[in-house]
Structure 1
Amino acid sequence: MPTESRLGAGLRLAVTTFTTAPVRPGRVDRATAGTAMAVAPLVGAVLGVVLGGVLLGLSVVAPPLVAAVVTVGCGALLTRGLHLDGLADTVDALGSYQQGPAALEIMKKPDVGPFGVAALVLVLLVQSAVLADLAARSWPAALAAVVTATAAGRLGVTVACRHGVPAARPEGLGALVAGTVGPVTVAAGAVAVALPALAAVPGRPWQGPLAVAVALTAVLALLRHLVRRLGGITGDVLGASVEVATTLVYLGVVLSG
């Protein structure tokens, strides 16, 4: 049987990492992981099409808020809730005011503290409110917004794995993917995500790409702070990057709408 290409193995790993799609796990090594992190926005875009379809389909037979909440729930189910878990753990570590190993130990605990709960509630409420607003808009704009936000969230992971960003631990997902993505790949991913963003806000084609730029800037600032506090990235930090970028893009496409 011919050996699977690096791109094929990377796509397979990206799908199994970022979704619950029934794909058999393939090769897992640092080179493959780097490819997976590079193509993460593509997986996010496909997931966004699915979630956009759920939102638009439900909005035909249910109130916009109901359609929005169910869509957010589907997003959590289709990703095993890993990104939400990463957000909660990361915010708990930041809220503890601990640094280094002490903060990492807090992130490893299975329980969720008050800071993590607050972050989860805020993110879920904001995403549901935005999706309810999008459900009342034209379907091309709503679909473009969901695809953009979902892809941008995974672009946050690509940004977190760029060259020069260390891992906080010598083991785990962070150690496998830290520093595996080059600057050209990050730039190409940003341009690709900005394309559907052009259609996210009718009459203001600049607003969607601007929302993506603001979200990525916020992720960069968060990553810089986390590297100082933790010493590098972890799998939880990647999950937090997904939720922060996704939520900020959602906010950006409905402001002044």
Structure 2
Amino acid sequence: MPAAKRELIRLFAAIQFFTCLPAPAWVGHSQEHLRGAIHYLPVIGLLVGCTGAAALLLGSLLWPPLVAVVASSVATILLTGALHEDGLADAMDGFGGGRTRDQVLAIMKDPRIGVFGASALVLALLLKMTCLQAVVPARAALLLVSGHALSRFGVVVLMACLPYARETGPSRARPFAQDVSSVSIAVAGLTCIAPLALLGAPTLGGAAAAAMLGGIWGLYLRRRLGGYTGDSMGAGQQLMELGFYLGAITRLPWPS
């Protein structure tokens, strides 16, 4: 198969897996394609971030800033099927309710959301929307695009640094449970350059905060689980996205 076609198939496979968008029939459902698609995760972030940014900018023409920010959150959640938000809730339930490694992994598999997961989900959404509402819409749109891309790059780095924690049983993340190459990390990182460059100086604070939270989360996963799961990577994306917003707005002007 030509390299260009193989990469196009991998891109469509990643879009189909990480969003609710369908892929062309000729892409198929091969796990082999998913294994080679992890470096496209920040591209998915760009897609999700641009969708949220478009909803925010359009909403800001019609409604007050807070309503526009809520509309952007609705748009991104509809596009992804709340995939990463679900991971955050499951991971917080697992770590909040489980004492041993096996208990944590078992609770993460439970589709029900408990008090830890619900609390984490509500607080994360409120914090993200508050951060985005705190700046002018044009800046908030750039924050969305950059935050979604950079946080997913952070997930690629975490997967490169940690082994997969589940030894048996079905898992949606299993196709990605392999060694992530330095080439994949480089390709994923290059995807983030353009939106971060457009944002300018706030990139430094946002990237530093996201990296700090991602590093702490990775160390915690290694200590508690000895590796990562799909839910914990979803939680990691949410934490790094939130960290990026919190770090970035310290360098941005507040709206008058």
Q: Confirm or deny a common fold (TM above 0.5).
A: yes
Gapped regions of structure 1 (runs ≥ 5)? none
Please report how far the alpha carbon of residue 117 of structure 1 lies from its aligned counterpart in structure 2 after TM superposition: 1.1
Alignment of 1:175-254 (within 5 A): 175-200=174-199, 205-254=200-249
**1:194-247 CA-partner distances (Å, limit 9, x unpaired):** 4422332xxxx3321441243133213212311331232222112112211111
* Cα pair 1:21 1:78 within 8 Å, conserved: yes
Equivalent position of 1:60 in the other structure: 61
Give percent identity, aligned residues only: 31
* Cα pair 2:151 2:237 within 8 Å, conserved: yes
Please report how far the alpha carbon of residue 166 of structure 1 lies from its aligned counterpart in structure 2 after TM superposition: 2.6
**1:78-101 CA-partner distances (Å, limit 9, x unpaired):** 111111111011011111242322
Code of the aligned partner of 2:13? L
Equivalent position of 2:172 in the other structure: 173
For 1:210 and 1:13, the matched residues in 2 are separated by 33
* Cα pair 2:133 2:140 within 8 Å, conserved: no
- Distance of aligned partners of 1:2 and 1:56 in 2 relative to their CA distance in 1, 3 Å threshold: same
> SS where residue 50 of structure 2 aligns?
helix
Code of the aligned partner of 1:220? G
For 2:147 and 2:2, the matched residues in 1 are separated by 37
For 1:17 and 1:235, the matched residues in 2 are separated by 12
For 1:225 and 1:39, the matched residues in 2 are separated by 26
Alignment of 1:79-158 (within 5 A): 79-134=80-135, 136-137=136-137, 139=138, 141-158=139-156
* RMSD across aligned positions (CA): 2.4
* Cα pair 2:10 2:34 within 8 Å, conserved: yes
What's the TM-score, normalizing by structure 1? 0.87
Runs of 4+ displaced beyond 3 Å = 1-5
For 1:149 and 1:143, the matched residues in 2 are separated by 10
Equivalent position of 2:30 in the other structure: 28
- Distance of aligned partners of 1:4 and 1:26 in 2 relative to their CA distance in 1, 3 Å threshold: farther
Q: Does 1:78 align with 2:73?
A: no
What's the TM-score, normalizing by structure 2? 0.87
* Cα pair 1:13 1:36 within 8 Å, conserved: yes
Equivalent position of 2:51 in the other structure: 50
Gapped regions of structure 2 (runs ≥ 5)? none
* Farther off after superposition, 96-105 or 157-166: 157-166
